[in-house]
Amino acid sequence: MSFNLSDYIVEIVDCLHATAPYTEKGHALIRTTDIQNGRLLLEQTMRVSDATYEKWTQRSVPEEGDLIMAREAPVGAVGIVPKNTKVCLGQRTVQIIPDRDVIYPKYLLYALTHPKTQRLIERYTVGSTVKRINVRDILKLNIPLNLPGLETQKDIADNIYLYDEKIQLNRDLMIQLETYAQLLFRKWFADFNFPNENGKPYKDSGGDMIEVGGKLIPKKWNSVKFKELFSFEKGVIPNEIFEENCGAKKPYLTIEFLEEGKGEFTDDQPNLLKSRDLDILMVMDGSRSGKVFTAIDGYVGSTLAKIVPKEEIYRDIGYMFLKMRERAISNRTTGSAVPHTSKNYVNSLVLNFPEDKNELSTFAEKFSVLREKILLLQKENMLLSETRDLHIHKLIK
């Protein structure tokens, strides 16, 4: 059984082929990288003004239940517009408007993200360097799945969507914890307003400061270049990779795996670089160079490096420091065709911290606890995503 996509939609609306001007606040602009696992990652989108929103939605205003598909990078990624949300299309995306009289929007979402449909989309892609799918080919899609009655569609899709709602709740909590950790780190290690012996902000309460390298830092603090505390170890490509986790295999950590909880697995091989929970990973090659991740137990991918502290006490402080400088590192990449993280730039960054190891350990423990909480939520989302996908395979055939 199958059904033609064109028979069950009102229209496919292509994006405006221009780069929108960004603003600090405003309406969400959905780029291809903002579509993941059936969701629009609204927390990370660029924002546009009212005027830009009006111009970018002249062809059509995306409404609740409409779908947005990426035509390239990654081809075929689909997300659904949630309620009470104003979004507009970024480049290389399209708006799919379901015919709600014959198909339930969430059912169409899961039908389009189903592996059978994704393989079909892949066959329609063109381009040697960057794969893409044309609008006319999206309209040709003959989705290789059953289409039950509207009420059955609703029951199936709403059941699956419960997992997505829980995943999103966890994502929101992870963002809140990460934001709090960053604000706290900046307060203590950049503004130097950590609690003094009386529990008051150190610098604002007149704490003693000394000049080091032309900058004022707290008395009895060290000022050290990053390379003195950390080293880079580059990941490698395994000799053998498996699509499923069976036996004693562990995740092969790529950007996709770290962000979506989906990817490939491999087993222990002599050349592989192992990672543990809470290790620091950084993207070294490609458009995401400079991005910092928390590792899970597995093997480090070839485009990533593990940032190894000289002493374990520096691990969580190092992660927070790199997250604070993440944008600056991403803006200092090298290479014209393929960007690469500049290790020289990262190594030249200066990290300030207490010289007393007990004081440093107390600070580091605070960030370690926050990172552990985030990692637990991340792992729960991986399990939820796996369970949701099993339901998609079982209920949508």
Contact 302, 329 (CB under 8 A): no
Q: What is the mean pLDDT of residues 370-392?
A: 93
pLDDT at 247 over 80: no
Domain identity same for 102 and 178: no
Give the model's pLDDT for residue 156. 94
Residues 189 and 100 in one domain: no
Going by pLDDT thresholds of 50, 70 and 90, the confidence category of residue 241 is confident
Question: Do 362 and 281 share a domain, yes or no?
Answer: yes
Domain span at residue 314 reads 174-386
Say yes or no: 180 and 132 in one domain: no
CA 101 to chain centre: 35
Report the number of distinct structural domains present in the chain: 2
Quickly count: other Cβ atoms within 10 Å of residue 374's Cβ: 19
Same domain, 139 and 179: no
Same domain, 308 and 223: yes
Percentage, residues of the chain above pLDDT 70: 99
Alpha-carbon distance of 167 to 160, in angstroms, equals 11
Over residues 72-94, the pLDDT tens digits come to 988 999 999 999 999 999 999 99
* Residue 57 within any structural domain of the chain: yes
Please indicate, yes or no, if residue 203 is contained in any of the structural domains. Answer: yes
236 vs 261 pLDDT, higher one: 236
CA distance 285 to 287: 7
Whether 142 and 197 map to the same domain: the answer is no
**Residue 166 covered by a domain:** no
Mean pLDDT of the region 57-67: 97
Exposed (0-12), middle (13-18) or buried (19+): which is 129, by Cβ within 10 Å? exposed
Residue 248 makes CB contacts below 8 A (sequence gap 6+) with: 267, 268
Q: Is 380 contained in some domain?
A: yes
What pLDDT sits at residue 251?
A: 92
Average pLDDT, the chain: 94
CB 307 within 8 A of CB 283: no
Residue 110's contacts (CB-CB under 8 Å, 6 or more residues apart) are 38, 156, 157, 160, 392, 396
Residues 125 and 185 in one domain: no
pLDDT of 135-188, one tens digit each? Answer: 999 999 999 998 999 999 999 999 999 999 999 999 999 999 999 999 999 999
The b/e string for 264-279 (b: 16+ C-beta within 10 A; e otherwise) is: bbbbeeeebbebeebb
The confidence band for 245, taking pLDDT boundaries of 50, 70 and 90, is confident
Find where tokens 């399209």 sit.
94
- The pLDDT value recorded for residue 128 is 75
Same domain for 126 and 213, yes or no, is no
**Residue 375 has which token pair?**
């990692």
CA 361, distance to chain mean position in Å, is 29
Same domain, 81 and 193: no
Structural contact between residues 350 and 223, judged by C-beta atoms closer than 8 angstroms: yes
pLDDT of residue 248: 66
pTM of the predicted protein model: 0.86
How many percent of the chain have pLDDT more than 90? 83
Here the tokens at position 15 are 């994006």
Mapping DSSP to helix (H, G, I), strand (E, B) and coil, where does residue 282 land?
strand
pLDDT at 37: 83
Tell whether 231 is covered by a domain.
yes
Q: Which residue has the higher pLDDT, 175 or 261?
A: 175
- Tell me what the mean pLDDT of segment 245-271 comes to: 85
Is residue 115 assigned to a domain?
yes
Q: Is 87 exposed, middle or buried (0-12, 13-18, 19+ CB in 10 A)?
A: buried
Q: What pLDDT is attached to residue 287?
A: 85
pLDDT score of 262: 79
State the average pLDDT over residues 29-54: 93
Q: What is the pLDDT of residue 36?
A: 87
Q: What mean pLDDT do residues 265-277 have?
A: 91
In a domain, 184, yes or no: yes
Tally of CA atoms within 13 A in the half-sphere of 50 that contains its CB: 0
pLDDT of 1: 79
Confidence of residue 216 (pLDDT cuts 50, 70, 90): very high
For the stretch 109-127, pLDDT in tens is 999 999 899 999 999 999 8
Instruction: Give which of 78, 41, 80 is closest to 63, Cα–Cα.
Output: 80
pLDDT digit string, tens, across residues 293-303: 999 999 999 99
The CATH number of the domain holding residue 141 is 3.90.220.20
Q: Which of 147, 182, 213 is the last residue of a domain?
A: 147
